[in-house]
Amino acid sequence: MLFLIKYFDTHLNESESVSVEKGLAYRICYGFLGTVIFIFLWTLIGYLIFTKPEYKQFSGLLPLPTIKAFYSLIFDNDFWSSVYASLRRVTVGISIAFVMGLPLGLLIGFYKKLELITYTPVQFVRMISPVSWMPVALLVFRSFESAIYFLIAISTVWPIILNTTHGVSRVNPQWINMARNQGAKNYQLLLKIIVPSSVPYILTSLRLALGVAWIVLVPAEFLGVSSGLGYIINDARDTMEYDRLMAIIIAIGIVGFILDGSIQLIQKSFPFKRTWN
Amino acid sequence: MKIRVENITKTYPLPKGKQFTVLKNINFTINEGDFVTILGESGCGKSTLLNILAGLLPVSSGEIWVDNKKIVGPHPSRSILFQQPNLLPWLSVEENIVFGCKLRGEVDNLRFRANQLIDIMGLSGFEKVYPHELSLGMAQRVCLARSLIGHPDVLLLDEPFASLDTFTRIHLQEELIDFWQVEKLTVIFVTHDIDEAILMGNKVILLGGHPSGIVKIFDIRMNYPRDMTSKIFFLVRTSVLKKFEEAFTDNKNLNPGEKE
C-alpha cells in the first residue's frame, strides 16, 4: 500500500501546481486510491469475521456478494421506486425547512434583538436529536408520510437558520453604506444586498441540511411506510438477504455522495466567489 | 453657500463609561462648486467627518446644513466614494454602475448615461465583466462612475486614490479635476497626502490636534491644471506644512499628558 502511495506521489506530484485540469486528475487519482483502500479494508475485516463458521450466515456482507447484489439492484424496480420515494421525502422535508428557515434566518441576522431573543430556544431545540421527535411525530401526524416530512424538516431547519443568519452577519458593511448612500430603503437593503451576498452561505446551509436529512431519513423510514431506502433495508434484514442489505447501504452512500457533490458543483459555479466577502 | 457645518463634535463611547472625542468644534462653510480637500494625519477623524457629511454617521452635537436644509441621513445627492472599491461581486461593471439609479427608479436615459460614464472612465469593453476580474484602479473607476451617474450635487471622496499606484493615481486625479470643472459639482476630498490636497483643492481644510479641530483653512488660488514642480506650489506646500508642525507642537505643549 505504501508502495502505491509512493507511486502516485512520484507520478503526480509535479502536476500539483501546473494546471487546474492536472490538479483535478491528481485529486481523482488520490480519491480512487482512497476508494481502493476502503474496499481492501472492508474485504480484510469481512473475511476475518464473516468466514468463521458461526458467522457463516452473514457472508453476504462481504464485498463480492454485495457487488453482485448491487448489480441486481440496478435492475430492480422496487429499488428505484424506493430511491424515488426517499428523494421525494428529503426534497419535501428540506423545502418545508427552507421556506420556514430562510426568512427566519434573514430576519434574525437583520435584527440584532431577534437574534438575542431566539438564541436560547434555537440552540436548545437544535441539540435535541431529531430521532427523539419520532414518537411525537407519530402522535401528531395521521400519516407516516407526513411524520417523516416533519422529522426531516425539524432536523434540517436549524442548519438553514443558523447559516443564513451567519451569512447576513458577514455582509460587507461597505456595501450597506454604499446602498444607504444611494438611497436604498430597508427592504431594498434586504433584497438587493443582504440576500444576494448571503447566497453562498445559503447554499452551504442546504448542503448541511442535505447531509442531516439523508442521515435522519433512514431511521425515519423504519417508522411504518412501505417504500423508501430505510424500508427496503429493514425488509432485506427480515428476509435475511444480507448481500442485498449491504448493497442498499452502499447505494445510500452513493446517492448521498452524489447529492452533496451536486450542491458543491453549484457552489463552485458562481463566478464571483473569489471576491466574496 | 452650499454647505454649512456648525460646531460638529463627535465622540465614541469607550468601555467603562469613558468617551473618546474624535472631532471637536468643527466649523466651516463650503460654496457651491468648491473643490475642498480635508487634510490631516491618519486617525485624525477626517473619514469620520466625511461619513458625517454623507449622513452615514450621526453627530454627537452640532448641525450640518446643505442648501439651507439640515441633514438627517444619507441622501443620493451627496454621493460618497470610499477608499476601497466596494463593488457588488454578483453584478457586472455595468450593473454596478446603474445600481443606485435602479434602486431609486431613475431609469430615464440610464443606458445612455451609463455608456457616457463608461467612456469617460475608460471602461469601454469591460461592461459585462465582473469585479473580481478588474484591477484595483479600474474597480475604483467603476465606483467613481457609480457615484457620478445619479448627478449628485456634492461628491464626497474618502482617500479614493490612496491604495492605487502613482501612475493610476495621477491619471485619476486629472480625470476628476476635468470632470469637476465641466460638471460644476461641489467636491469634498479627504486625503492624508499634502501634495494631493494642494494639487486638487481650491480650499484646503487642515485638521489637527487631539481631539481634532480645524487648524487653518487655506484658499489655494492656483490655476488648474496645477504643476507640482512649480515654485508657487512649493511655497504653498511649505506654509501648509509649517502650520501643521505648529499645531502639532502646540498640541504637545498644551496637553503633555494626553498621549496615553
What string of DSSP letters covers B104-153? HT--TTHHHHHHHHHHHTT-TT-TT--GGGS-HHHHHHHHHHHHHTT--S
Instruction: Determine the Cα–Cα distance for residues B114 and A118; give it in Å rounded to an integer.
Output: 45
Cell of B180: 469637476
Q: pLDDT band at A271, cuts 50/70/90?
A: low
Do residues A89 and A149 lie in contact, with contact meaning Cβ atoms separated by under 8 Å? yes
What residue has cell string 463627535? B10
* Mean pLDDT estimate for chain A: 85
Q: Which of A178, A194, A203, A270 to mutate to test the interface with B (most CBs of B within 10 A)?
A: A178
Q: Provide the pLDDT for residue B260.
A: 35
Q: Provide the pLDDT for residue B253.
A: 56
Q: Provide the pLDDT for residue A258.
A: 93
- Closest-CA distance of chain B to residue A274, Å: 7
Q: Provide the pLDDT for residue A9.
A: 57
Q: Provide the pLDDT for residue A206.
A: 92
- Closest-CA distance of chain A to residue B78, Å: 8
Instruction: Determine the Cα–Cα distance for residues A180 and A129; give it in Å rounded to an integer.
Output: 43
Cell of A227: 417504500
Q: Which residues of B touch A182 (CB under 8 A)?
A: 76, 79, 99-100, 103-104, 146, 150
Max avg pLDDT among A60-69, B96-105, B164-173: B96-105
- Closest-CA distance of chain B to residue A258, Å: 27
Q: Provide the pLDDT for residue A225.
A: 82
Instruction: Find, among A216, A215, A211, A203, the residue nearest to A265 by Cα.
Output: A203
Look at residue A86 and tell me whether its pLDDT is greater than 90.
Answer: yes
Look at residue B259 and tell me whether its pLDDT is greater than 80.
Answer: no
Q: How is the beta sheet containing B78-81 ordered, strand by strand?
A: B78-81, B154-158, B186-191, B35-39, B203-208, B213-219
**ipTM score assigned to the predicted complex:** 0.83
Residue of A nearest to B53 (CA): A181
% of chain A beyond a pLDDT of 90 = 38
Cell of B51: 461619513
Q: Which CATH code is given to the segment(s) B3-254?
A: 3.40.50.300
Residue of B nearest to A198 (CA): B90
Query: What is the three-class DSSP state of B83?
Result: coil
Taken in order B208, B214, B220, B224, the sign of the CA dihedral is positive
Residue of A nearest to B87 (CA): A175
**Rg of chain B on CA atoms, in Å:** 19
B99 and A192 within 8 Å at the Cβ level: the answer is yes
A181 and B80 within 8 Å at the Cβ level: the answer is yes
Q: pLDDT band at B165, cuts 50/70/90?
A: confident
Q: Which residues of B touch A184 (CB under 8 A)?
A: 103
Of A181, A192, A275, Cβ closest to residue B89: A275
Parallel, antiparallel, or unpaired for β B19-30 and B35-39?
Answer: unpaired
Cell of B25: 468644534
| A34-72 exposure pattern, b = at least 16 Cβ within 10 A, e = fewer | eeeeeeeebeeebeeebeeeeeeebbbbbbebbeebbee
Rounded to 10 degrees, the C-alpha dihedral A45/A47/A52/A54 comes to 70
Look at residue A272 and tell me whether its pLDDT is greater than 60.
Answer: no
pLDDT tens-digit readout, B88-100: 988 999 999 999 9
Q: Provide the pLDDT for residue A1.
A: 55
pLDDT tens-digit readout, B197-234: 999 999 999 998 778 888 888 898 888 888 888 998 89
Please count the residue pairs, one from chain A and one from chain B, whose beta carbons lie less than 8 angstroms apart.
66
- Closest-CA distance of chain A to residue B70, Å: 17
Instruction: Determine the Cα–Cα distance for residues B203 and B236; give it in Å rounded to an integer.
Output: 12
Q: Which residues contact B38 (CB under 8 A, 6 or more apart)?
A: B46, B49, B50, B188, B189, B190, B191, B197, B204, B205, B207
Q: Which residues of A touch B105 (CB under 8 A)?
A: none
Q: Which residues of A touch B86 (CB under 8 A)?
A: 172, 174-175, 177-178
Residues of B with CB under 8 A from a CB of A: 51, 54-56, 73-76, 78-80, 82, 84, 86, 88-90, 99-100, 103-104, 130-132, 146, 150
Q: pLDDT band at A259, cuts 50/70/90?
A: very high
Q: Provide the pLDDT for residue A276.
A: 41
Query: What is the three-class DSSP state of B203?
Result: strand
Look at residue B249 and tell me whether its pLDDT is greater than 90.
Answer: no
Cell of B49: 467627518
Do residues A207 and A264 lie in contact, with contact meaning Cβ atoms separated by under 8 Å? yes
Residue of B nearest to A173 (CA): B86
Query: Does the predicted model carry a pTM greater than 0.80?
Result: no
Look at residue B60 and tell me whether its pLDDT is greater than 80.
Answer: yes
A181 and B130 within 8 Å at the Cβ level: the answer is no
Instruction: Determine the Cα–Cα distance for residues B252 and A276; give it in Å rounded to an integer.
Output: 44
Do residues B88 and B123 lie in contact, with contact meaning Cβ atoms separated by under 8 Å? no
Q: Provide the pLDDT for residue A48.
A: 85
Of B56, B76, B88, Cβ closest to residue A183: B76
**Average pLDDT for residues A192-209, to the nearest whole number?**
91
B99 and A182 within 8 Å at the Cβ level: the answer is yes
**Average pLDDT for residues A256-275, to the nearest whole number?**
78
Residue of A nearest to B98 (CA): A182
Q: Which residues of B touch A178 (CB under 8 A)?
A: 80, 82, 86
Helices (H), chain B: 46-54, 93-97, 99-104, 110-120, 136-148, 166-183, 194-200, 231-254
Region for B230 from its dihedrals, namely left if φ exceeds 0, alpha if ψ lies in -120 to 50, beta otherwise? beta
* Mean pLDDT estimate for chain B: 87
B56 and A274 within 8 Å at the Cβ level: the answer is no
- Closest-CA distance of chain B to residue A272, Å: 6
Instruction: Find, among A128, A147, A34, A31, the residue nearest to A89 by Cα.
Output: A147
Residues of A with CB under 8 A from a CB of B: 172, 174-175, 177-184, 188, 192-193, 196-197, 199, 270-272, 274-276
Of B56, B99, B150, Cβ closest to residue A177: B56
Cell of A232: 427496503
Look at residue A144 and tell me whether its pLDDT is greater than 50.
Answer: yes
Q: Phi and psi dihedrals of B80, rounded to 5?
A: -115, 140
- DSSP assignment, residue B212? B
Look at residue A18 and tell me whether its pLDDT is greater than 50.
Answer: no
